[in-house]
Amino acid sequence: MINNQIYRQGDRIQGVVLSRIDQDSVLLADGRRLYLFQAITERKEKH
């Protein structure tokens, strides 16, 4: 998921083809690699 959108290999992101999807990053056809991070979904409560 990138910018709240689900993508697959071969899709375009802002005009650049998504070449490869790894566990923690994606490789774009122009050579850039975007690193992914896990979204924070739970909030730790104060005690």
What's the pLDDT tens digit per position in 26-45?
999 999 998 877 666 666 66
**Average of per-residue pLDDT values in the chain:** 84
The DSSP symbol for 15 reads T
The pairs formed by 18-22 with CB atoms below 8 angstroms and a separation of 24 or more are: none
Positions of E strands within the chain: 12-13, 16-21, 25-28, 33-35
The DSSP symbol for 43 reads -
First to last CA, the chain: 33
Q: Check residue 33 and give its pLDDT.
A: 93
Q: Check residue 32 and give its pLDDT.
A: 94
The DSSP symbol for 46 reads P
